[in-house]
Amino acid sequence: MGITFGKKLIHHPLVIRDLLDMEVYLEGAMMLTIKAVDVFRKSYFLVDTADKPGQDCLYRIA
């Protein structure tokens, strides 16, 4: 199982490239998610109770 043309799938250059592309995409998505959570968390704690939430620029970004 997992053997094509006499080699394991992981030893085919195009499979390696596709797996690397998938890993880079996932890492980028994870970093974007972490950044969005960080900005939203910062904006949540910066909003004063007397102010409207929409007045803070970080809140609008999040």
**pLDDT tens, position by position, 12-41:** 899 999 999 999 999 999 999 999 998 888
Instruction: Tell me the pLDDT band of 57, cut-offs 50, 70 and 90.
Output: low
Identify the pLDDT of residue 22: 96
SS3 38: helix
CA-based nearest residue to 32, from 62, 1, 2: 62
Torsion of CA 16, 18, 23, 25, to 10 degrees: 160
Amino acid found at 26: L
| Interatomic CA distance for residues 62 and 55, integer angstroms | 13
With a pLDDT cut of 90, the percent of the chain lying above it is: 34
Query: Hey, which residues does 7 pair with through a beta bridge?
Result: 4
